[in-house]
Amino acid sequence: MLVQLLVSLALGALAGWIAGKIMKSSHGLIMNIILGLVGGLIGGWLGGLLGIGGGWVSGLILAVVGACILIWVARLISGKK
């Protein structure tokens, strides 16, 4: 259980960092973890709708996509580029 939590946090941080680089957004480590974890939820939901998922690589990709969507939506709401 603890190992799974640590792996999820590590993948979330990695996904948030990758999304930040893709979207040219700078956030701290904590925000990257949050973006990656929430992005993982969004990406997992979208992946479920599309029938994609099942492994840690696809989970990481979906988390990155979800985090990119979060950054994009945040930019829409805040009006920042």
Give the C-alpha separation, 13 to 51, whole Å: 25
Q: Indicate the number of domains in the chain.
A: 1
User: What confidence tens digit (pLDDT) does each residue in 23-71 have?
Assistant: 888 777 777 778 888 888 888 788 888 888 777 788 888 889 988 998 8
In a domain, 73, yes or no: yes
* Mean pLDDT of the region 11-31: 84
Kindly give, in sequence order, each residue whose CB lies less than 8 Å from that of residue 25, ignoring residues fewer than 6 positions away: 19, 71
Task: Provide the pLDDT confidence category of residue 22 given band limits of 50, 70 and 90.
Answer: very high
Question: Are the beta carbons of 40 and 59 closer than 8 angstroms?
Answer: yes
Question: Are the beta carbons of 20 and 26 closer than 8 angstroms?
Answer: yes
pLDDT at residue 5 in the model = 76
Residue 71 is part of which domain span?
A: 11-78
In a domain, 6, yes or no: no
Beta-carbon count within 10 A of 70 CB = 22
Question: Tokens 């998922």 — which residue?
Answer: 53
pTM for this structure? 0.81
pLDDT of residue 17 exceeding 80, the answer is yes
pLDDT at residue 81 in the model = 62
Query: CA nearest 70: which of 49, 30, 41?
Result: 41
